[in-house]
Structure 1
Amino acid sequence: MKPHIGVLGCGWLGFPLAKRFISMDFRVSGTTTTKANLDILGNEGIVPYYVELHNEGAKGSLINFLKDIDILIINVPPKRKETEQDYLSQMTQLYEASKIMHLKKIIFVSSTSVYGEVEGEVTERSVLKPGSDSAKQLVAAEKLFMGDKDMEATVVRFGGLLGPDRHPVTYLAGQHELSNGDDAINLIHIDDCILLLTSVVTNQWWGKLMNGVYPDHPTKRIYYTKEATKRGLPVPEYTKGYAGKTGKIVKTKTLDALKFKFMNPIDSHS
């Protein structure tokens, strides 16, 4: 029998991910922080649960959600205004609840922001240099789950996310004197995020650390100029760069066998 999947956080990524697992004949439970969305999840065949994580404890049905699943996918990023202690407290509660329910297989959705604003190539083996509060929060949460030898936790660090209703060029269009035009982009389309996460389950890639980023890394100047032109948006203007500057280039040492749907962000047409 296929394992029962639990998606904690059925939002922009989690909801279509849950639906993809259902299309693959998995049993799927999913959580939402909005009670009005329970029927939406249920109508898609997702067993719906209302769960909110707070410092003082979880609201809703966290234990009921966890008790019947075999694999937990944690798709709950830090909030921008949340302190590191708040997020870590919530993830600690989730971790302890998962231990009580004897969950062994965990997928933690993280971000390449944990590498910080460094220059040059980074891989899963690189030293982490988180600069922002949210990146520091993610590092702490990653260590919490991966540090438990009784769990088979896999961490997937996604780059910038693209999708039919989400593209960074919409925020950059028409801006002037942007200073990072020679930096490389590190992006991935939602379809390939879902491909990667489902592949962890179907291939049983447990206890792994993975960067989820396309292998193609054009400069921001080239990429966003093309994307703005394609959409009929004002082209963002970048200042003259510095010779040899590339910004952060995220590579992966663990996903050579995975064939992305688009392979590069220009082909994604999102």
Structure 2
Amino acid sequence: MNKTISILGTGWLGLPLGKKLLDQGYTVKGSTTTKENLKLLSEVGIVPFNIELNEHNIDGDILEFLKDTETLVMAFPPRLRKQPELNYASKIAHFMSVLKESDVKNLLYVSTTSVFEDEEADEDGFKVITEETEPNGISKKARKLIEGETLVKQAKEFNTTIVRFGGLIGGDRHPAISLSGKTDLKNPEAPVNLIHQEDAVNILNLIINKGVFGETFHAVNPIHQTRKNYYQFKAEAMDLVKPQFDEESVSKGKVIYSQKLNTLLGFEFNKEL
């Protein structure tokens, strides 16, 4: 078994995954777009690379990064909020063309549940989204993310697993902090679809260690409180000013089910939201 894992994007999710894999005896290569983080990666035992994907080229020694790697984790943020005009499909397509010349056989692609559209509830409640549901997001960002997923799945040279995470929380990263004190927030009755960082890392680790490739997983905690109840409760618990919601607005949302995590991985959520 090849014990080298490369993680493209060793940030908030990729770094703790890399540390976990190191503890299990893997050799881990990790990329960062920030030169200042190279020392941090090296200090924890990750072989560091300064790599940045662009629409038409790749900055950094991508071939050495991929060399002798059987499994690649693509965990870099798309940055579509900061770069709304980015041609994300070109960025992914160019990288995939390079990847096809590498030793990589297994691909683990980190995606998001925002590829699905928020919709108004009907008489049965908000729409339930499973791993069998086709992505239907219509925003510019959602369409770009769907294009990225499609390009990755179409590359038949790899055994590809896609993991669509809900909103990631953990440590000092929590929506209640950024929402604190805000007013007239929309979608008060929409359900939350969140996952703790520790659960997210454990899911990726399980997929790698069990070799479960060729699948699509949803990774969302099964607790789906309303946005209003959840964020007001968390703000109060964190001693923050509670956000206020527009009660007159019609809520749009969805309920993300994570059925395959248990059936294929035997995974159970451990962290409270």
Deviation at 1:242, TM superposition (A): 7.3
Equivalent residue, structure 2, for 1:100: 101
- Note if 1:223 corresponds to 2:230: yes
CA offset at residue 132 of structure 1?
2.8
Partner of 2:256: 250
Rounded to whole Å, the distance in 2 between the matches of 1:242 and 1:141 is: 33
> How far does residue 134 in structure 1 lie from its aligned partner after superposition?
2.5
1:261 positional shift: 1.8
Per-residue deviation at 1:12? 1.2
Query: Which residue pairs with 1:261 in the alignment?
Result: 270
Counterpart residue type for residue 171 of structure 1: S
In structure 2, give the amino acid aligned to 1:118: E
User: Aligned residues: percent identity?
Assistant: 35
Give the conservation status (yes or no) of the 8 Å contact 1:117–1:131.
no
Q: Which residue of 1 aligns with 2:18?
A: 18
Q: Secondary structure at the match of 1:64?
A: helix
Deviates more, 1:153-162 or 1:131-140: 131-140
What letter matches 1:253 in structure 2? Answer: Q
Name the SS for the 2:111 alignment partner. strand
Query: What does residue 207 of structure 1 align with?
Result: 214
Task: Indicate yes or no: 2:153 matched with 1:152.
Answer: no
Match of 2:118 in 1: 117
How far the C-alpha of 1:86 sits from its partner, in A, is 2.2
Match of 1:143 in 2: 150
Deviation readout 1:16-38 (Å, 9 max, x if unpaired): 11111111111100001111211
Matched, 1:240 2:247: yes
Structure 2 unaligned segments of length 5 or more: list them: 121-126
Equivalences, count? 263
Question: Which of 161-170 and 50-59 deviates more?
Answer: 50-59
Secondary structure of the structure 2 residue equivalent to 1:255 = helix
Alpha carbons of structure 1 residues 145 and 98: separation in structure 2 relative to 1, 3 Å: same
Partner deviation per Cα, 1:19-69 (whole Å, 9 max, x = no partner) = 111111111000011112111101111011110111231111111101121
Letter in 2 for 1:258: F
Q: CA deviation at 1:169?
A: 0.5
- Cα deviation for residue 125 of structure 1 reads 1.2
Q: After superposing the two structures, state which structure 1 stretch, 10-19 or 232-241, moved more.
A: 232-241
* Structure 2: distance between partners of 1:133 and 1:246: 18
**Which whole-Å CA distance do the structure 1 matches of 2:14 and 2:181 have between them?**
32
- Point out the more displaced range, 156-165 or 70-79: 70-79
Q: CA RMSD in A?
A: 1.8
Please state whether the residue corresponding to 1:108 is helix, strand or coil.
strand
Q: Secondary structure, in 3 states, of the residue corresponding to 2:55?
A: coil
Q: Residue by residue, what CA displacement relative to the aligned partner does 1:108-144 show, whole Å, maximum 9, x if unpaired? A: 0000000122342111111211233332222111111
- 8 A Cα contact 2:189 2:226, kept in partner: yes
Give the 3-state SS of the residue equivalent to 2:119 in structure 1. Answer: coil
Q: C-alpha displacement at 1:5, in angstroms?
A: 0.6
TM-score by length of 1: 0.92
Counterpart for residue 29 of structure 2: 29
| Letter of the 1:261 counterpart | N
- Over 3 Å counting, the alpha-carbon distance change for 1:70 and 1:112 in structure 2 is same
Supply the distance in 1 between the matched residues of 2:94 and 2:17 (Cα, whole angstroms): 24
Do residues 52 (structure 1) and 58 (structure 2) align?
A: no
* C-alpha distance in 2 between matches for 1:160 and 1:202: 24
Q: Distance in 2 between matches of 1:234 and 1:5?
A: 43
Gaps spanning 5+ residues in structure 1: where?
Answer: none
